[in-house]
Amino acid sequence: MTKVRTTLTVDAEVLRAVKVRAARTGKGDSEVIEEAIRRDLGLELLDRLWAANRLDEEESLALGVEAQHATRTARP
């Protein structure tokens, strides 16, 4: 995965909590922040769902079309 450098402005208390978590887990500050962001955005769940996916492309497409049709409202 490509990493990019960025600058964030965060509350001093949040940064202290990041540093404490990093020290307790043996991780870097960036890793703690990235894990928290991924959790908050639900990216961990998406990764787990993709990893558990057993459908091939055709089955996935059929399921998507079926879900789309099921959620459309009936037209008068």
User: Could you write out the DSSP letters of every residue in 15-46?
Assistant: HHHHHHHHHHHT--HHHHHHHHHHHHHTHHHH
What is the C-alpha separation between 33 and 45, in angstroms, rounded? Answer: 17
- Beta carbons within 10 angstroms of residue 18's beta carbon: 19
* Whether pTM exceeds 0.75: no
Cα of 53 vs its chain's centroid, Å: 16
pLDDT along the chain (76 residues), means of 10: 91 97 97 92 75 81 84 68
CA dist 31 → 23, 59, 66 (Å): 11, 36, 39
